[in-house]
Amino acid sequence: MDYRRIKGEEDSMSASQDDIESFQEKHNPNSDAHLPRSVPSLGKRSDWRLKSFVTLALTILTSSQAILIVWSKRAGKYDYSVTTANFSVEALKCAFSLAALVRIWKKDGVTEDNKLSMSFDEVNVYPIPAALYLIKNLLQYYIFAYVDAPAYQILKNLNIISTGVLYRIILKKKLSEIQWAAFILLCAGCTTAQLNPSSDHVLQTPFPGWMMAIVMALLSGFAGVYTEAIIKKHPSRNINVQNFWLYVFGMIFNLIAICVQDYDAVMNNGIAVSMVMKYADNIVKVYSTSVAMLLTAVVSVFLFSFHLSLAFFLGSTIVSVSIYLHSIGKPPR
Amino acid sequence: MDYRRIKGEEDSMSASQDDIESFQEKHNPNSDAHLPRSVPSLGKRSDWRLKSFVTLALTILTSSQAILIVWSKRAGKYDYSVTTANFSVEALKCAFSLAALVRIWKKDGVTEDNKLSMSFDEVNVYPIPAALYLIKNLLQYYIFAYVDAPAYQILKNLNIISTGVLYRIILKKKLSEIQWAAFILLCAGCTTAQLNPSSDHVLQTPFPGWMMAIVMALLSGFAGVYTEAIIKKHPSRNINVQNFWLYVFGMIFNLIAICVQDYDAVMNNGIAVSMVMKYADNIVKVYSTSVAMLLTAVVSVFLFSFHLSLAFFLGSTIVSVSIYLHSIGKPPR
């Protein structure tokens, strides 16, 4: 949102009237408790810095998490249950949010914005992203009847497109024509970077497999966009309170998942992701995780002597051009 | 050049002063003998039509030539020498140009613009493109000491970048930032479309191989850009006269090649290429031949039951986005 606002200020004609109203309503700059109040004149600049910082943090966290997972699998010394590990991580993040809140309460006292209790009207939307991820992850077991794991990795790139489309429809934020082109390129570039001699299997995916892949991409995109909507609906609300509730429901749905089957993380990289959602948006998240994927591969070359393919170089080039185009593409008039 | 002019008229600030002067000098619209004089008010529209027509013609010709070559190889009934075939094609095209000229002479009489003889100052540049192609094609025999044929096909995509760079440097025409991005994407997209399990070989190309590939790309790009410069330097000169001289030198250099070794075509798709050079430019030629490559693959699926890879679909998507970006990207202010 801040990102959009910076763009909007550069070119005052670039946002439609109802766009401007909707973001003024959601985003009164003076109510934003997270910017240092001592430097109000630097507001715009510190917005930009904050945005860059959370984007960088998410990129590094995502790639280091991926590298740690590969490392722990390769080392093979610790045999742990992925499901239990995910549940523990959610619980840990929940505890961190609570600890951060206690510090804030001691410093500023309990205010309307940092108190833990919420009205039912506000809290009742918090389970929705976790529930969507649960449904998506349960579908995952059925899709493997139609596609194998490498093909599934390729199909997961449909998430990029679904996130863009839902971002436009649900959050009513606009992307310029160039930014749409950049988004298609991001999807094609990420897929290209993952190509390997067995990738062509994916073209033999039967119709139900395609349908399920599209539904899963929509669920995942919807969960991401919905999280952004929840977090940005109350911009003055302390992010630790928002995270606390997201993790509580993440834990609950992870518990359900443990009862049902072995299960992926409900909320990946929680804190960094919600920071991006609060100070940037789903689009930044998509770019951030794409770059993290490329970064992971490059680091893996040095750490695990992985092999980089020509397809990887091409994909990285395409993703880089996409990032460049996204940054120069102004929102439509 | 016409293409550039149309763009320039859309946005009068988009061309620098010396750009405008240089194309006014080269391109007096009233002296253009190839547009129907009876409809002067439709000049701009028919320019656009002519440009679209030659682009489409080049695309179809290039792909049908490629398909015919595959067909004749597959049928395997006719055993012909590629070198002799090329020489004959050059001779045939030379004859066609001459026949077209004779018709024009009968109709309009011999004028300054359609007479066959040229001053030495004008004709002495005509051998240069053919000579450059000859050097490039001779280098081809040496590069195979470092790379195999599939890797060479991949490296040939460097032509796209070299054409763009030389187009900018030699013809001093500007591409916008978006158009540069589109050009990088075109190169990446074409390469992606050609990926196959053995493509990774290309990354093992030794340093002299890379150097030669770059030199060959520069020679090929230089030949293309030089041909455009020759043809556009005298826009009022009848294109058949220009073609005649290009083919004469094409034949001579093909003869040299026959004496030296088995040899590729000096000038591919001669007439359509020079039409594009006269009414559009090298950039249009590059896009046209790239689309022809994709079209050839699609047609081959139906004709020869070729197999389309996932990489092909990704590459086609990237090339399509590149074309779109090129068309919306305005030249820089």
The sign of the torsion formed by the CA atoms of A133, A135, A138, A139 equals negative
Name the residue with higher pLDDT: B28 or B231.
Answer: B231
Per the CB < 8 Å rule, is A192 touching B314?
Answer: yes
Least confident of A249-253, A277-281, B186-190, B252-256: A277-281
| Residue whose tokens read 């004779």 | B102
Span B42-66, mean pLDDT? 73
* pLDDT tens digits for range B74-99: 665 555 565 666 677 778 888 888 88
Span B246-271, mean pLDDT? 68
Alpha-carbon distance of A214 to A157, in angstroms, equals 10
Judge whether residue B328 has pLDDT over 50: yes
The sign of the torsion formed by the CA atoms of B35, B36, B40, B44 equals negative
Least confident of A75-89, A230-244, B133-147: A75-89
Both tokens of residue B2? 């016409």
The domain limits of chain B are: 2-328
Helix B43-75 and helix B270-279, axial crossing angle in degrees, nearest 10: 160
Per the CB < 8 Å rule, is A311 touching B195?
Answer: yes
To the nearest whole Å, the CA of B312 is away from the closest chain A CA by: 10
Helix A270-279 and helix A239-260, axial crossing angle in degrees, nearest 10: 130
Grade residue B317 by pLDDT with cuts at 50, 70 and 90: very high
The pLDDT assigned to B45 comes to 67
Least confident of A152-161, B4-13, B211-220, B276-285: B4-13
Cα distance from N-terminal residue to C-terminal residue, chain B: 18
Q: Answer whether A325 touches B (CB < 8 Å).
A: yes
The pLDDT assigned to A7 comes to 34
- Which percentage of chain A shows pLDDT scores above 70? 75
SS3 of A238, please?
A: coil
* pLDDT tens digits for range A75-122: 655 555 656 666 777 788 888 888 888 888 898 888 888 888 888 888
Judge whether residue A215 has pLDDT over 90: yes
The pLDDT assigned to B260 comes to 66
Q: What is the ipTM of this complex?
A: 0.71
Per the CB < 8 Å rule, is A314 touching B178?
Answer: no
Q: Answer whether B323 touches A (CB < 8 Å).
A: no
Q: Choose from A195, A328, A330 for mutation: most chain B CBs within 10 A.
A: A195
Both tokens of residue A111? 């205010």
To the nearest whole Å, the CA of A292 is away from the closest chain B CA by: 21
Average pLDDT, chain A: 75
Alpha-carbon distance of B256 to B241, in angstroms, equals 23
The pLDDT assigned to A292 comes to 83
Grade residue B211 by pLDDT with cuts at 50, 70 and 90: very high
B195, B310, B321: residue with CB nearest A310? B195
Between the alpha carbon of residue B37 and those of residues B27, B100, B111, B236, the distances in Å are 16, 19, 16, 13
Q: Which residues numbered 209-238 in A keep a CB inside 8 Å of some CB on B?
A: none
Grade residue B15 by pLDDT with cuts at 50, 70 and 90: very low
CB atoms within 10 A of CB A57: 16
Judge whether residue B8 has pLDDT over 50: no
Per the CB < 8 Å rule, is B185 touching A321?
Answer: yes
Q: What does A189-234 look like in DSSP terms, one character per residue?
A: HHHHHT--TTGGGGGG--HHHHHHHHHHHHHHHHHHHHHHHHHHHS
Q: Answer whether B202 touches A (CB < 8 Å).
A: yes
Per the CB < 8 Å rule, is A321 touching B200?
Answer: no
Judge whether residue A9 has pLDDT over 60: no
User: Strand ranges (DSSP E) for chain A?
Assistant: none
Q: Please tell me the total number of residues recorded for chain A in this structure.
A: 333
Alpha-carbon distance of A82 to A22, in angstroms, equals 41
The pLDDT assigned to A261 comes to 59
The pLDDT assigned to A165 comes to 92
Judge whether residue A31 has pLDDT over 70: no
Q: Choose from A198, A200, A205 for mutation: most chain B CBs within 10 A.
A: A200
The pLDDT assigned to B10 comes to 34
Contact at 8 Å (CB) between A66 and A292?
A: yes
Judge whether residue B226 has pLDDT over 50: yes
Between the alpha carbon of residue B289 and those of residues A70, A160, A175, B155, the distances in Å are 43, 30, 31, 16
Least confident of A175-184, B6-15, B294-303: B6-15
Is residue B74 exposed (0-12), middle (13-18) or buried (19+ Cβ within 10 Å)? exposed
How many beta-carbon pairs under 8 angstroms link A with B? 74
Q: Which residues numbered 288-317 in B keep a CB inside 8 Å of some CB on A?
A: 308-311, 313-314, 317
The pLDDT assigned to A212 comes to 92
To the nearest whole Å, the CA of B132 is away from the closest chain A CA by: 29
Grade residue A235 by pLDDT with cuts at 50, 70 and 90: confident
Span B287-299, mean pLDDT? 83
The pLDDT assigned to B327 comes to 85
Within 8 A of B185 by CB-CB distance, chain A residues are 185, 318, 321
Contact at 8 Å (CB) between A166 and A292?
A: no
